[in-house]
Structure 1
Amino acid sequence: MFHRYKTPLVAACIAIFSVFLSACGQQATDKKPEAKSELPAADSTSSLNSPLSLNIVTPVASCENLLTFDLTKVGGEGSKITSASEQTVNGKTTCVVEGTMAPTVGFKVTLPKASWTQRFMQLGCGGLCGMINMNIGAADGCKAVESDGFALASTDMGHKGMGGSFGQNPQKRIDFAYRGVHITALASKALIKEYYGQPAKYAYFNGCSDGGREALVEAQRYPDDFDGIIAGAPAMNFSVQNSFFHGWQARSNTGADGNAILHAADMPILYNAAVAACDEQDGLKDGIISQPFQCDFDPQVTLCKEGDSENCLTQGKIDAAKKLYDGPKDPSTGKALTLGGPQPGSELSWVGVYVPRAGSEQIFSTMIADGATKNLIYQQNPPANYTLDDFQFTENNFNNIRPLNGLYSGTNPDINAFRERGGKLIIWHGLQDPHISPVNTVTYYEAAKKASSGGKDVSDFMQLYLFPGMYHCDGGTGPHDFDLLTPMMAWVEQGIKPEAIIASHDGTAGNQHAGPPRKDDEQKAPAIMGSPDGKAATVVDVDYVKRSWPVYPYPTVAAYTGEGDWRVAANYKPVSGPSMPSYDWAGNRFFKPDSQLNCSVIEGSFRCEKAAH
């Protein structure tokens, strides 16, 4: 069966329950409405429209004959199919094709033999990629995919392995930044046409984390590749994210003795205090902070009083927590060097990312920042003896990463070409994401809105969904299971704009992931929370609630009506939500139309120029 990001990569879902019931004249209640013993099997508020019923098309060529298919027109000399054979996938006969686009972009395409409904979906990867991810992520639950109606494809983005050493090779940088995902789309479409005798009628892209960055890059750089794009928790500020953000998180939780200051056991204390401070802002006491941007939480309230030692924190731990929330600032100018930090209510998901489970166990932030700062973000890489301790959190050093930022970034707000050709874009993010602050995503949405229509309505082609209580691409204390592909298909194929997305939580801890990819396992996408070996972090004991929730396009939020079971999506209504506060930071210019670079390697020389817009 298909996998989401659940035991894996970057995933997605959750329920949005930002409310602001006070605006509706309702008072927050400290008593939860009486819950029914059983939840309804279906929810009448669901907006999942049925996709078009397309004819099944069967192959006109044998799978084995694809071995000789010429890819050089797409990827250049040396591009080739390395294997093509019929295999049983999800219980059905499938033509599985693997190949390499010159010089080293690996890819995989799966072509159903007897159930193809003329649709194609490419899947993004996570972290620094380096592996093939065939997990369907935010398409989990989509019947058209689960019945093998789609041809699927993915790429390793030009290198093998999770580390950043590939950045020593300029061409591999380019392939990872944007070329790999594009030429994989071209190669996949060519193979589909060869195998079935006709092109795919509809093409979709679906990715989260770096896959979300890839999704935006496709809309920005290659507007003709896909009809519908789903971009989850996009790592669009790649250079900043993997240096100033993760580097700061790693350093801020390291004491003078080299050991971690905060540990997993401290997280419930912070989490419970944050929830106590801000849970009821939305009018419902349900254990979820649905409006974290408006949450004024001071971790100082957790300070141990004289004689106390349990369920409280020392001043040293509180100071470290404040640094993690606030992010780095230039010590001389006070200028913020990142765009937002982890939001209140995300604390349980810090485990394995920048807080070790125990002792001085390696954390994700150290691993990703070390690889990026040594190999990827600078025009000239640091010396071999460089360590993360040498990284300077200053505006001067921020200026050092500017020259190559446009190589990797997905922050270009000019996506008018994608809009004009009829493309549809769904962007989504978990509000309690420990890896990538949702502030980045809202900032991009507002910038794209301004660039596309002068700040006016863009819902004809772009929608943003924010999921309270959700971690990075999957997991969380709030509802985080949902299907975005079905409403995307209805939008692309029938012109039915998506509104409420119904997210759910099964009431169990499930797979709370947040670390790097699992090594050598392409069937299990990278875990997003956990240790650097990809194992899930120890799940902290919290009360998970079985529930469903309607998530509306930003800035609309869901408000409990005050009647019926609060755990059921049908008992919520849309209300106007609060807007996100504005942020001034060193990278404001990154969200401009001229922010991207086109790079090439000519006679061994790495050259970049401003991309046309």
Structure 2
Amino acid sequence: MKNTRRRTAFLPLTPLGLGLLIAACSTTPPVPTQPLSPAVGAGLRQCEALAGQFRFDQTTIDSAAPVAAGGLTLGGQPVAAHCLVKGQMHKRKGSDGRDYAIGFEMRLPQAWNGRFYYQGNGGLDGNVQPAQGALGGGPVTGALVQGFAVISSDAGHSGPQTAVFGLEPQARLDYGYQAVAKLTPMAKALIANAYGKAPDRSYIGGCSNGGRHAMVAASRLGDQYDGYLIGAPGYRLPNAALAQLWGAQRWSPLATPGATVRHPLNPNASIPDLGSALNAAERQTVARAVLNRCDALDGLKDGLVQATQACQAAFDVARDVPTCSGARDGSCLTPAQKTVLAQVHAGGKASNGQPIYSAFPYDPGIAGNNWATWKFVNSVALDPLSVGTVFTAPPAAAADIAGARIDVLLPAISATSDTYKESGLALMSPPGHEKPTNLQPLRARGAKMVLYHGVSDAIFSAEDTRQWFERLNTAQGGKASDFARYFPVPGMNHCSAGPTADQFDLLGPLVKWVEQGVAPQAVTASARGAGNAGGVNAELPADWATNRTRPLCAYPTVATYNGSGPIESASSFSCR
């Protein structure tokens, strides 16, 4: 079979390799020679009194109550004593007649480390998650455990299972970026009231839409935070959602006719079983093919492909995945399945050839259940709601969504109207993400960014994040690594899970970089095997040690086996 797969979708490594040449003619600002001063802690002065004493514009404190040590646990660890504050900002009656407010909670440790952490939540928001500041598949720790004062919010609307808020213009804007901008100064003022001093250092982080919140804040609120922890950022969420609709159209003809699965939001409803188009056994076959071609590229066959970029050049679906000569039995793919798999990994195109979204890397994490959920369930149950009500201007017609008319929807996410004065892309994406020169002030004052992304993320592409980092490096004269580091996580699906080591702490290294000047190059990640306090990952291969560790390496370096040493230990690998 002739190989027609285009290999140009993945940008080469040359921008980082040519950093010194670019820097020679760069006009980027100098990097501070000293780190920002370390935060100094303080004790909590008051808790219950905050409900009656704290005043801030458009803000209501509904309650403030102490939480005893151990009253909350995270990753199997008891959380120290703290004050739980709940409130609302900007209560209003929406143009749709509904009641709106930016709901929030803050957790203020009795023994505070002098730092503030804004917890960006995922999905469509709509719910105030516990303000723990936790990231990673099974959190080793979180901001609250580390002693941060932490805020969490619903981003300006209630109801996480509906996108109806997207019909209300201000609710769209709050969800996109304005809630973070409104909450940030209020949270700092509340901290000052509670401790008698403002936070010395402020951090913001999250995964998925929470990662997008953090990335957007870096562009819009570059003077408000000292550290940005950006996980699996859906910074082009409208494009990613459209690519999901486009992919569902391609998988549908290959699915079992009439087969259905339960709707994830409505137990009384069902949706087509798109997963029958590429079932679990077939995804395992693809994963094995990727491993056969790429596993040894990092120096060791261990069930992980850590040389991600080299793998994209080495792997070919048409050549490397067995082709069925008869009926589907799980050990092969039909030519039609291979074609669709290649098309979906390429990111999709409109009929005029315009790309819809980024390419997706090939990785053995395709075997993960989370990968299948995003590709085959959420693409039918969730993404049409987001595209139809939140990301298009005016909101898309039902017929366009039901038929996934990509040629109509793609320009609509960039459109505005008299009612919706900012497009879906504008309100969701970081300004200037095509050429991120606007991060120069952030860099100049000593703030830092750490990004991470599961290589087998099925909704937001790790390749999209990598290409953004390459553009950042070019815009920063080849010196992006002076203030930003990107850590791909091999095998990991969307924010967690898959055949991977997905338990890690990147917040601690970010703080050390900001306040001590120690840049993170290798961060240890652990597999969550039997007995793991943070929760067991049932998708780990049987031949892995339950406590396997691997270094997450700052791009473009790759975790490479040293040639000796225990294969289950991160100490046997180097980032190079």
TM range (shorter): 0.7 to 0.9
Query: What letter is aligned with 2:103?
Result: G
Match of 2:412 among 379, 400, 406: 400
d(CA) in 1 for partners of 2:549 and 2:335?
39
d(CA) in 2 for partners of 1:339 and 1:185?
32
Offset at 1:569?
1.6
SS of match in other structure, 1:444: helix
Range 254-263 or range 198-207, more displaced: 254-263
Given that residues 201 and 226 in structure 2 are in contact (C-alpha distance below 8 angstroms), is that contact kept between their aligned partners in structure 1? Answer: yes
Range 161-170 or range 472-481, more displaced: 472-481
Match of 2:367 among 323, 327, 348: 348
Match of 1:116 among 112, 117, 120: 112
Alpha carbons of structure 1 residues 542 and 342: separation in structure 2 relative to 1, 3 Å: farther
SS of match in other structure, 1:138: coil
Alpha carbons of structure 1 residues 96 and 135: separation in structure 2 relative to 1, 3 Å: closer
Alpha carbons of structure 1 residues 66 and 422: separation in structure 2 relative to 1, 3 Å: farther
* Paired position in structure 2 for 1:187: 186
The correspondence of residues 153-232 of structure 1 with structure 2, limited to 5 A, is: 153-162=151-160, 163-232=162-231
* Paired position in structure 1 for 2:43: 58
| Partner deviation per Cα, 1:461-486 (whole Å, 9 max, x = no partner) | 11111121222212231222111111
Match of 1:334 among 328, 336, 353: 353
Given that residues 361 and 463 in structure 2 are in contact (C-alpha distance below 8 angstroms), is that contact kept between their aligned partners in structure 1? Answer: no
SS of match in other structure, 1:284: coil
Match of 1:247 among 232, 239, 245: 245
Range 483-492 or range 504-513, more displaced: 504-513
d(CA) in 2 for partners of 1:556 and 1:538?
29
Backbone CA RMSD of aligned residues: 2.9
The correspondence of residues 363-374 of structure 1 with structure 2, limited to 5 A, is: 363-374=377-388
Match of 2:302 among 286, 304, 311: 286
SS of match in other structure, 1:501: strand
Offset at 1:107?
0.8
Match of 1:450 among 474, 499, 503: 474
Residue 435 (str. 1) matches residue 459 (str. 2)? yes
d(CA) in 1 for partners of 2:290 and 2:359?
17
d(CA) in 1 for partners of 2:305 and 2:429?
30
The correspondence of residues 451-530 of structure 1 with structure 2, limited to 5 A, is: 451=475, 453-454=476-477, 456-507=478-529
Alpha carbons of structure 1 residues 299 and 481: separation in structure 2 relative to 1, 3 Å: farther
Given that residues 203 and 227 in structure 2 are in contact (C-alpha distance below 8 angstroms), is that contact kept between their aligned partners in structure 1? Answer: yes
Offset at 1:562?
0.7
Given that residues 365 and 499 in structure 2 are in contact (C-alpha distance below 8 angstroms), is that contact kept between their aligned partners in structure 1? Answer: no
Offset at 1:561?
1.3
* Paired position in structure 2 for 1:267: 283
d(CA) in 2 for partners of 1:421 and 1:376?
35
Given that residues 370 and 388 in structure 1 are in contact (C-alpha distance below 8 angstroms), is that contact kept between their aligned partners in structure 2? Answer: yes
Query: What letter is aligned with 1:124?
Result: G
TM-score, reference length from structure 1: 0.73
d(CA) in 2 for partners of 1:550 and 1:250?
35
d(CA) in 1 for partners of 2:406 and 2:446?
42
Query: What letter is aligned with 1:127?
Result: G
* Paired position in structure 2 for 1:87: 67
Query: What letter is aligned with 1:392?
Result: R
Offset at 1:63?
2.4
Match of 1:389 among 396, 402, 409: 402
SS of match in other structure, 1:351: helix
* Paired position in structure 1 for 2:557: 556
Query: What letter is aligned with 2:44?
Result: P
Q: For structure 2, which runs of at least 5 residues remain unmatched after alignment?
A: 1-35, 73-78, 92-100, 258-271, 416-422
* Paired position in structure 2 for 1:423: 447
SS of match in other structure, 1:194: helix
Given that residues 44 and 112 in structure 2 are in contact (C-alpha distance below 8 angstroms), is that contact kept between their aligned partners in structure 1? Answer: no
d(CA) in 2 for partners of 1:298 and 1:373?
30
Higher helix share: 2
Match of 2:88 among 100, 109, 133: 100
Given that residues 500 and 540 in structure 2 are in contact (C-alpha distance below 8 angstroms), is that contact kept between their aligned partners in structure 1? Answer: no
Higher RCO structure (Cα 8 Å, ≥6 apart): 1
d(CA) in 2 for partners of 1:541 and 1:370?
34
SS of match in other structure, 1:365: helix
Q: For structure 1, which runs of at least 5 residues remain unmatched after alignment?
A: 1-50, 356-362, 514-535, 576-613
SS of match in other structure, 2:253: coil
Offset at 1:250?
2.5
SS of match in other structure, 1:329: coil
TM-score, reference length from structure 2: 0.77
Given that residues 154 and 184 in structure 1 are in contact (C-alpha distance below 8 angstroms), is that contact kept between their aligned partners in structure 2? Answer: no
Given that residues 337 and 398 in structure 1 are in contact (C-alpha distance below 8 angstroms), is that contact kept between their aligned partners in structure 2? Answer: yes
d(CA) in 1 for partners of 2:334 and 2:532?
31
Offset at 1:93?
3.2
d(CA) in 2 for partners of 1:308 and 1:202?
57
| Partner deviation per Cα, 1:210-252 (whole Å, 9 max, x = no partner) | 1111111111001122111110110100211122x22123222
Given that residues 227 and 422 in structure 1 are in contact (C-alpha distance below 8 angstroms), is that contact kept between their aligned partners in structure 2? Answer: yes
Range 233-242 or range 412-421, more displaced: 412-421
* Paired position in structure 2 for 1:305: 325
Given that residues 67 and 84 in structure 1 are in contact (C-alpha distance below 8 angstroms), is that contact kept between their aligned partners in structure 2? Answer: no
Identity %: 28
